[in-house]
Structure 1
């Protein structure tokens, strides 16, 4: 890294003490060495080695490798003592802070999609926990021969439990509407008809009702199911109900079983 004693040679050449061609040769060699030195300094800097310390004679025997991203090491592909170069991967790092979804939609659904739409999704093996994402890119060509268009969405909010490559079930919000809805567990199907159960007073009429040990009487009401989303299902009532009617949110199946077992049905 030190400089060559070139200045005295130039002085002697000016007094015809050395052939001019020798000076030109030395000038060329010096320029080449300077270029090599600069390249080596940049290489050392890229490896995290202090050039100033090397110039002082400090020899580095170990290198600290800085990862290009933060995250978790998912696999190590190199071994202690093996030779590696700049093109050899030594480990794989996963950063789940920038997870995104790759979804595929059919051509008929494409007009309903646009950037910034919200996606609600659940893991196939854990449908009880819901996550949110937002569309940021919509494909402009079909994916292979599947006749589906890829869309990409960035995951928002909580990412706990998400790992690259997981299968998901996604629902894309294409609009908003205020509709009567009940929890999915509040609806039970019996003989092809959907029902919900409402709470009646203990002295209510029988017919389509059943009485519990606690004294409450539950009455079943016919409904028509609509769209299901995030654990709730839209319903259309086939008869009017008073305001503030209490609906059984869980256990409708057991209420129906009790009713049919004791013969209290239509």
Structure 2
């Protein structure tokens, strides 16, 4: 009996210890589950974005593509009429240049030969002019023959034409003919910026040889940025001057910019069956870069209404509704409001019963996630 009592007492002690160890584990499990649920709700709340009803055009629009561009007069390709070796090229892509600023310096023995020929012809022309005047006087006094007079006249005028041609070449190479006439001959020429703008291409380096008409660099003046859009032939009759344009640069920003149709092309590209449409950008102060790809909507007709993004509307068997922020005290409280839908487009939907909620904060993103959380 003594051993039996000791055995029963041991079983009782072990049972008590087992129960004591089990209860904290169950409490920890419940606490962890509660913490996980709170974290999930916090995550869902962080996905909610609020907004308000806005005026949206639900009229017809054309979706087109195009690019950022500038007028032809705002682009300049720098090249030379006579090739040479690059001696100085101080600019890099992106540098701002002023009109008349030095861009590049070239060197070539041909520049020296051209100046020598001009100088020699200048001196020779003085003699030919004097001889022409002398022969003319003698001919007028019937002292010299008409043949000698005509010969002197021909030599003088042909050399004068050659002289004027060389003078024009020097001016095209930015060499001063008067300095050459005074004996100041140089072996280099300078190329200057014909317009103000930004350097967009530099195709040379010091010591490189460039031939005539090789593109040395390119300058673009971005002061007058515009849109160059391509519209399909079947849609071009709907596009008119003055229509509004909304465009985005998908590779760089989600911001919607505004423009206006300024010119509609009158010819169709035979390979693509598209027509060019020129649009003026409203805010040219944006940091647009020539060549950027754009997606745009030409607003053909206007039909304004109060609307919200399609993602804000939840639909079920009872109808369509949205979530409206009711109060803000620590945690957000939302009210489910039934709405009547009107016209729709790709991204937005019109709210017909907008009078009572036009100033309310509406869940425009995360409504489906919020529905689960509530």
- Structure 2 length normalisation: TM-score? 0.54
**Is the Cα–Cα contact under 8 Å of residues 133 and 155 in structure 1 kept in the other structure?**
yes
- CA deviation after TM superposition for structure 1 residue 30, in Å: 0.8
Picking from 237, 252, 259, the partner of 2:371 is: 259
Unaligned segments of structure 1, at least 5 residues: 203-211
CA drift of 1:146 comes to 4.1
Question: Is residue 55 of structure 1 aligned with residue 172 of structure 2?
Answer: no
- Seen in structure 2, the aligned counterparts of structure 1 residues 103 and 12 have a Cα distance that, compared at 3 Å, is closer
Instruction: Provide closer, same or farther for how the CA distance between residues 82 and 15 of structure 1 changes in structure 2, counting only shifts above 3 A.
Output: same
Q: How far does residue 261 in structure 1 lie from its aligned partner after superposition?
A: 3.5
How far has the Cα of 1:248 moved from its partner?
A: 1.8
- The whole-number CA distance in structure 1 between the counterparts of 2:311 and 2:330 is 20
Q: Structure 1 residue 215: deviation in Å? A: 6.0
Unaligned runs of 5+ in 2: 1-121
> Do the aligned partners of residues 78 and 21 (structure 1) sit closer, same or farther apart at CA in structure 2, a change above 3 Å counting?
farther
- 1:246 equivalent to 2:342? Answer no
Shift of 1:36: 1.2
> C-alpha offsets along residues 152-183 of structure 1, whole Å, 9 cap, x if unaligned?
2233422534233322110112243431123x
Bigger relative contact order, structure 1 or 2 (CA pairs below 8 A, ≥6 apart): 2
Q: Is residue 2:194 matched to residue 1:82?
A: no
Aligned partners of 2:314 and 2:250: how far apart in 1? 25
By percentage of residues, which structure has more helix?
Answer: 2
How big is the shift at 1:51? 2.2
Partner of 1:157: 283
After TM superposition, give the deviation of residue 76 of structure 1 in Å.
2.4
| Corresponding residue number in structure 1 for 2:115 | none
* CA–CA separation in structure 1 for the residues paired with 2:254 and 2:239: 26
- Give the length in aligned residue pairs: 246
The question of whether the paired residues in 1 share the 8 Å contact of 2:310 and 2:349 is answered with no
Residue deviations 1:215-250 (CA, integer Å, cap 9, x gap): 634324345374459xx834234x575366513255
Q: SS at 2:199's partner residue?
A: strand
Match of 1:187 in 2: 312
Give 1:59 deviation, angstroms.
1.7
Specify the alignment match of 1:221 in structure 2: 338
Larger-Rg structure: 2
Contact 1:119–1:173 (Cα < 8 Å) also in 2: yes
- Alpha-carbon distance, 1:135 to partner: 1.9
2: distance between equivalents of 1:131 and 1:240? Answer: 27
Post-superposition offset of 1:115 = 1.3
Query: 1:186–1:163: structure 2 CA closer, same or farther, 3 Å change rule?
Result: same
Partner of 2:164: 38
Match of 2:348 in 1: 233
Alignment of 1:35-184 (within 5 A): 35-79=161-205, 80-85=207-212, 87-158=213-284, 160-182=286-308, 184=309
Residue 26 of structure 2 corresponds to residue 26 of structure 1: no
CA apart distance, 1:32: 0.8
